[in-house]
Structure 1
Amino acid sequence: MTKFNQSRRRFLTQSGVGLVTLTTLPRLADAMESMRMGGGMGMGMHSGSGEIAYPKLSPNKANPLFHPDVELDLVCKPAEISILKGAPTRVLRYQATLIKGPVGTVVDIPHSYLGSIIRLQKGQKVRVNFHNGLSQASVVHWHGLHVPQMMDGHPQYAIDSGETWVYEFEVMNRANMNIYHPHPHGATAKQVYLGLAGALIVNDEEEAALELPSGEYEIPLVIQDKQFDSENQLTYSPSMHQRMAGMTGEKILVNGQANFHLDVASRAYRLRVMNGSTSRIYKMAWDDGMPMTVIGVDGGLLEQPETRPYVMLAPGERLDVWADFSGRNEGTQLALKSLAFSGVLPKMGMNHGGLAVGSEYPICTIKVTRKVSDNHKLPTNLSKMPRYRIDETANPNNPLPIGISESPMSMLLNGRAYEFNNPLPTERVKMGSVQLLEIFHAHGEMNKRGGGMGGMGGMSMSMAHPIHLHGQQFEIMSRSISGDTTDYDTVSEGFIDSGLKDTVLVMPMERVKIIKPFHDFKGLFLYHCHNLEHEDMGMMREFSVE
């Protein structure tokens, strides 16, 4: 069992943060697998779009007129680390080194392959010198940050082995937890799966005034699932079945460690939870029935805390959880679990054995080892959020569509696979506008709203998709579901829709309306499924902000 020991506590104090199958239509899937083995669709099977020919660009250099408050070097490179008992595991890893900035800006997670935690303040100007130490191209996406196109990690800016790209941006976000991870087209899932991911936390004055639990009482929990071979090596060679459903592993890791255990005091903690899996969806709950108290989501603090029996967490989403262990006796143990649910994968043979998606299993264990008298009181009011009404959008009666369609041959958005710089009319957006969007399953909605939607798979292939939009975060305005709600009822109480989001889980036959601003920056900003196998298959499009 992995213990949260004194070395971790020192790390928390220093950093100011604790850190914590598809077998549907089997004959068609088998035919796809034969096509893949024969090279019929090329690497990543980009849904018929083939390899993307990006123009070769010179790596971005430091701007002498940009004067950073924070500068750091960020290297991605192969490494070895002990995860399971026995031989060390070969991984890919981000390593950050602070060149200029406050102490605690960059802190490594002890005994983990995950990237260094980067902590920034709203308003800081930041320079990151990204060095590619891999044998293949890569690029860094600052998932959740509002930054210019050239700094957003668009795959056209991927650099080759040995090259350096300089990112420069001002932190415009309110306080929240973000992710940095690779985004090269066709290779994102594998690079993330092998270890390339890290947390980037933004703080601001509004959050500081609340005096929320901090230091060793603020614990980020990065949840991932991995598959290991008999020699403790990560295995990532998904079959076509696994690409369609998403690659899942049999071992749950937290903060890069197996059988994660956390020792706590009898007081309140702030748990900063991130789903770092490539495709697995979690239904998080306490095993003793204690409600889940959520104080924030992707885009930062909610206006008021929300309490639920469980909360859903899809790939790319984050949760800010208030966990109060006060009143518990020393020696009390509990577990954070993923509860059983259904409906996120197609009905027929949805799993390939092992740790099934939608089954019940533990994520980590917690034990009260210290009795203390000090505690934090949960604030009644947390933050003030920018809000828009539908009648304030540029298109209140004509939402921009994001139509999801699946078939055994492809995963599409608005009826199209990914194309570089070839937006549909509905994907051209005026800079400075605020837009109403609707995300929905487009089966049977052929050639609607400028997009040639639909998909040959229809309902038999329908599954849940975490849709991520680059750029500014959005508000969820409504959810509606058609047809039988039996599966939906197993997850519906777990959606926290009152905060700002950049990733939203859309269930089969569900329609979700969101309001998203497109302020400050022109250029191409991606939107895609954050099931990373789907993204690599071409389930990604671009908004051209003009």
Structure 2
Amino acid sequence: MTHRTNYSRRKFLQISAAGAAFAAMPAMSAATGGSLLRKATPGFIADVEIEFAAQASQATIIGGGPATRVQSYSAKLLKGPANTLRALPDNYLGPILTLEKGQKVRIFFNNRLHEPSIIHWHGLHVPQRSDGHPMYTIQPGEQYVYEFEVLNRAGTSFYHSHAHDLTAEQVYRGLAGLIVVNDADEAKLDLPRGEYDLPLVIQDRRFDGRNQLQYLHAMPERMMGFLGDTILVNGKPQAQFSVKTRAYRFRAVNGSNSRIYKLGWDDGTALTAIGTDAGLLAKPETRPYIMLAPGERVDLWLDFSGRAVGSRLTLYSLAYSGALPGMHGGMGMMQAQLAQGAKFPIAVFNVNEKVGDSPKLPQTLVPFQRLSDADTDNRDNPIPIALSIRHMRPLLNGLSFSMDRVTDYEKVALGSIKKIRIFHDHGEAGREHTTGMGMGRMGGMRRGGDEAGQGMGGMGGMSMDMAHPIHLHGQQYQILSRNAAKTDAADYSTVKDGFIDSGWKDTVLVMPGEEVNIVKPFQDYKGLFLYHCHNLEHEDLGMMRQYYIG
């Protein structure tokens, strides 16, 4: 209870400070708006209206014992196509939300928990007010109204809790669900549909002897990220799929707090992807395995044509190394029986019926605009995202999250396209980005409060390199390059062939020592948009910042 009380007080202070900062800056105030709670906008004519609720509930996860206490989303369709919502039976995961590009959507979110919460529509390009920024977190019994037009192209996204300090545990206890977006370009393709288009939400959890979720708050475990010892697929352990001798589309989502998966077949068959994060690729990509970090999605083309009826294939997370520092890199956290980088089965596919009709893998998928350095206005001075863990604090650019602070280099012009450099900071690499850049509060005030108190370089203490999945809210971005010169070559060789970097992304896995350059548009919407590590324990510890688009 103390944790929740402290959270409420911190939330009040943060909102008060944010309100003061916004009031002092007319442009910021106009972008963010005044009140935290809203009613439906009369002039916004919604094509789809949904009533969402978060509540405590129970679900049967482990058979042969008590139901598991969880937190879950429920939803009721008030207006729109009948296929907008599809519930997964007897499940803690929220209903699958199916949207069409161009639809106007209104969602009434009711918080029926006993603690604050808010929903983030991970992967959707929406206005700040509808993005689930923690400044809009609502208290028990309150309602929040989301309104947005679906601008995304066809692809797979997901929604989850985003209340600061509470995100990791609320997602762990069940507050997440899948989003499917369709559009006209995808409709032209002969892709698997209906019963052949299936979710593959992968999570790891830990249960006690009474089937209750165990989530530990010990600092060493929080620093590395929570690892469970039971793998769940679509909310169930020991997942099995009955498939026919034809092609399927499986929408794989890494819904774990910190576990990184290396997807691969037990018989060595290559995997084919047709989409990453929130969009289809220009053409299919085939890899010996596919890396999937927390927050990432990949649409898999799994073709069982030619397989004998009665055959079984097992999808594994294959072994890899180097994601965690030092002794943790080889064995994971001592509390976890299933280490980060261990090999283990995810799901079994049983071929049980022979059919003759199956779509063929398209050679090309959708039109794709490739961005480059030349499209950016800062190609020689990229915006930094420096990753570090110092004094038991995970940091971005040497700073922790603060609701009311934006540095000068985090202020970007609406309509601009920026180059961003993501790298591991070892104390000296980031100095060039802090000198003369006026890092501080909104409007150039000096640092203080919840921030680290020291810039990059000169913080002292031991720095730990580990893999970080970096998620940027707002528009998707493209990956320009990866530089592995400072990685451990042996470790990097176990993951390097599993990155699919040719599509639109909103989350990218950055391995220890690696540098990743991306190009990101900042278009359509003004306001504050977060960027953070999607290791959810790191996010709650403050490894999160925000851009102000104005």
Question: TM-score, length-normalised on structure 1?
Answer: 0.90
CA distance in 2, matches of 1:106, 1:82: 21
Shift of 1:421: 2.7
Counterpart of 2:15 in 1: which secondary structure?
A: coil
- Cα distance in 2, alignment partners of residues 153 and 238 from structure 1: 24
State the Cα deviation string for residues 206-258 of structure 1 (Å, max 9, x = none).
00100200111011100000010111100112211110100110000000001
SS at match of 1:520: coil
Q: Which runs of 5+ in 2 are unaligned?
A: 20-34, 440-454
Is the alpha carbon distance of 1:477 and 1:528 closer, same or farther for their aligned partners in structure 2, counting shifts above 3 Å? same
Contact 1:43-1:186 within 8 A present in 2 as well: no
Give the equivalent residue in structure 1 for 2:315.
336
1:72 pairs with 2:76: no
CA contact (8 A) 1:52 1:419 kept: no
Question: Take 1:242 and 1:448, find their aligned partners in 2: how far apart are those partners?
Answer: 33
1:163 aligns to what?
Answer: 142
- Establish whether residue 360 from structure 1 lines up as the match of residue 348 from structure 2: no
Q: Tell whether the 8 Å contact from 2:375 to 2:417 is kept in structure 1 after alignment.
A: yes
Does residue 436 of structure 1 match 2:419?
yes
Structure 2 residue corresponding to 1:519, chosen from 516, 520, 523: 523
Please say if residues 72 and 96 of structure 1, whose CA atoms lie closer than 8 Å, have aligned partners that are also in contact: yes
Aligned to 1:506: 510
Partner of 2:104 in structure 1? 125
Q: Tell me how far 1:349 sits from its aligned partner.
A: 3.6
Aligned to 2:22: none
What do the CA deviations read for 1:178-230 (whole angstroms, capped 9, x no partner)?
11111111000000000000011100000010020011101110000001011
Whether contact under 8 Å (1:145, 1:171) holds in the other structure is: yes
Contact 1:406 1:456 (8 Å CA) reproduced: no
For residues 444-499 of structure 1, give each alpha carbon's deviation from its aligned partner in whole angstroms, at most 9, with x where no partner exists. 2253312621454555x110000000000000000002333111111000000000
CA 1:390–1:254 in 2, change beyond 3 Å: closer, same or farther? same
SS in structure 2 at match of 1:377: coil
> Which residue does the alignment assign to 2:14?
53
The aligned runs of 1:369-388 (5 Å cut-off) are 369-388=352-371
Deviation at 1:331, TM superposition (A): 0.4
Distance of 1:229 and 1:437 partners within structure 2:
43
Q: Provide the rounded CA distance (Å) in 2 between the counterparts of 1:409 and 1:480.
A: 27
Residue of structure 1 aligned with 2:59, choices 78, 81, 86? 81
Q: 1:529 corresponds to which letter in structure 2?
A: C
Alignment check: 8 A CA contact 1:443 1:458 kept: no
Contact 2:124 2:278 in 1 (8 A): no
Structure 2 counterpart of 1:431, one-letter code: L
* CA RMSD, Structure 1 to Structure 2 (Å): 1.7
Partner of 1:410: 393
Match of 1:545 in 2: 549
| Matched residue, 2:456 | 453
- Once the two structures are superposed, residues 5-57 of structure 1 have per-residue CA deviations (whole angstroms, 9 ceiling, x without a partner) of xxxxxxxxxxxxxxxxxxxxxxxxxxxxxxxxx99xx969xxxx999621384
Listed one character per residue, the Cα deviations across residues 417-463 of structure 1 (whole Å, up to 9, x for unaligned) are 1112311111010011000000000112253312621454555x110
- Equivalent position SS for 2:88: coil
Distance 1:161 1:50, change over 3 A: closer
2:419 partner amino acid: L
Residue 539 of structure 2 is aligned to residue 535 of structure 1: yes
Match of residue 147 from structure 1? 126
Matched AA of 2:433: R
What is the aligned partner in structure 2 of residue 13 from structure 1? none
The yes-or-no answer on 1:216 pairing with 2:201 is no
Q: Which amino acid aligns with 2:403?
A: F
Counting only pairs closer than 5 Å after superposition, residues 11-410 of structure 1 correspond to structure 2 as 53-55=14-16, 57-85=35-63, 86-350=65-329, 351=332, 352=334, 353-410=336-393
Distance 1:441 1:333, change over 3 A: same
Alpha-carbon contact 1:299-1:499 (below 8 Å) kept? no
Percent identity, please.
52
SS in 2 for 1:326: coil
Per-residue deviation, 1:290: 1.0
Which amino acid in the other structure matches residue 54 of structure 1?
I
Q: Give distance in 1, aligned partners of 2:328 and 2:382.
A: 35
- AA partner of residue 110 (structure 1): P
Against the structure 1 CA distance between its residues 123 and 64, is the aligned structure 2 distance closer, same or farther, given a 3 Å change threshold? same
Give the Cα separation in 1 of the matches to 2:509 and 2:129: 27
**Counterpart position of 1:474:** 477
Q: Residue 244 of structure 1 contacts residue 408 of structure 1 at CA under 8 Å; is this kept in 2?
A: no
> Which shows bigger deviation, 109-118 or 385-394?
385-394
3-state DSSP of counterpart to 1:53: helix
The one-letter code sitting in structure 2 at the alignment partner of 1:84 is: I
- Counterpart in the other structure of 1:6: none
Structure 2 distance, partners of 1:243, 1:50, is 21
Counterpart contact for 1:305–1:382, Cα < 8 Å:
yes
Aligned partners of 2:14 and 2:404 also within 8 Å: no
Q: Which runs of 5+ in 1 are unaligned?
A: 1-37
SS of residue matched to 1:487: helix
Higher RCO, Cα 8 Å, sep 6+: 1
**Stretch of structure 1 that moved more, 250-259 or 404-413:** 404-413
Per-residue CA deviations over 1:508-540 (Å, capped at 9, x if unaligned) read 111100000000111110000000000000000
Of stretches 381-390 and 314-323 in structure 1, the one that deviates more from structure 2 is 381-390
Seen in structure 2, the aligned counterparts of structure 1 residues 72 and 121 have a Cα distance that, compared at 3 Å, is same
Quick one: structure 1 residues 51 and 343, their matched pair in 2 at CA, closer, same or farther if it must change by over 3 Å? farther
| 2:39 maps to amino acid | K
Name the SS of the counterpart of 1:150 in structure 2. helix
The corresponding residue for 1:15 is: none
Following the alignment from structure 2 to structure 1, what is the Cα–Cα distance between the partners of residues 320 and 485? 18
Amino acid at match of 1:544: Y
